[in-house]
């Protein structure tokens, strides 16, 4: 299957992408992690993206697709997280996939109210070493003696409440229409993102036809 995870900021897309990749042996393609990796490595694409960021401009779809494209192999099983964020981007993605002879199998929408998301994001932490996302209450970073992730575990600037509120406004304006876009194509699955992490994973697995894969 070729999956896309969509939903508002803080709904758990990154967390579920990580868990599903382990549980179902899917390749997790996180556009946010890819962008940060390119910027840190100062690749040609990374320099281009950083230029857009400095100017406060959106990164063009073709640049994002150039970055993401090599991971979206026709024979692979992948989960795309963080893209598309608008109907225009969804159409661009569909066009790029059609050239490879593939299409999105399922779009998983993690749904949750704004107030819940703002509160949840306060506890989110990002590992600078691995790019994995944790939550202080629901999915805490491993302890040093576990030797699983060295960290450090930081709160990103875009996780601050005022930034999150603005992101939610943009989500409702630009990304929420993807519910209709994928719904009309018969591949949308809506999951209650306010549940525990494990229960969200369980519901996604059931929607994908893997009801026994729910004990991640």
Fold of 2-113+175-207: Rossmann fold (3.40.50)
User: Residue 214: pLDDT above 90?
Assistant: no
pLDDT on residue 145: 83
The pLDDT tens digits of the residues spanning 134-145 come to: 888 888 999 988
Confidence tier at 170 by pLDDT (50, 70, 90) = confident
Position of tokens 């704004």? 114
The pLDDT tens digits of the residues spanning 49-101 come to: 888 777 767 678 888 888 888 888 877 899 999 899 899 999 999 998 999 89
- Please tell me which residue, 88 or 215, carries the higher pLDDT value: 88
DSSP letter for 142, please: P
User: Residue 202: pLDDT above 90?
Assistant: yes
pLDDT on residue 8: 92
CA nearest 158: which of 35, 28, 20?
A: 35
pLDDT on residue 56: 62
Asked whether the bond before 84 is cis by omega within 30 degrees of 0, the reply is yes
């Amino acid at each position: 299957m070729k999956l896309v995870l969509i939903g508002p900021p803080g709904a758990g897309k990154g967390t579920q992408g990580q868990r599903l990749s382990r549980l179902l042996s899917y390749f997790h393609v996180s556009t946010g992690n890819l962008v940060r990796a390119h910027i840190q490595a100062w690749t040609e694409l990374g320099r281009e993206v950083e230029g857009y960021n400095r100017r406060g401009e959106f990164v063009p779809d073709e640049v994002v697709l150039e970055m993401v494209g090599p991971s979206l192999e026709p024979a692979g099983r992948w989960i795309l997280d963080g893209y598309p964020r608008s109907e225009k981007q969804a159409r661009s993605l569909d066009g790029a996939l059609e050239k490879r002879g593939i299409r999105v199998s399922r779009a998983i929408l993690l749904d949750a109210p704004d107030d819940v998301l703002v509160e949840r994001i306060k506890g989110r932490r990002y590992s600078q070493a691995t790019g994995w996302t944790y939550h202080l209450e629901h999915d805490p970073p491993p302890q040093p003696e576990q030797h699983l992730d060295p960290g450090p575990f930081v709160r990103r600037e875009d996780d601050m409440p005022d930034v999150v509120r603005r992101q939610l406004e943009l989500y409702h304006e630009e990304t929420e229409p993807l519910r209709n876009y994928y719904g009309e194509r018969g591949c949308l699955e809506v999951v209650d993102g306010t549940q525990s992490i494990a229960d969200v994973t369980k519901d996604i697995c059931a929607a994908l036809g893997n009801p026994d894969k729910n004990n991640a």
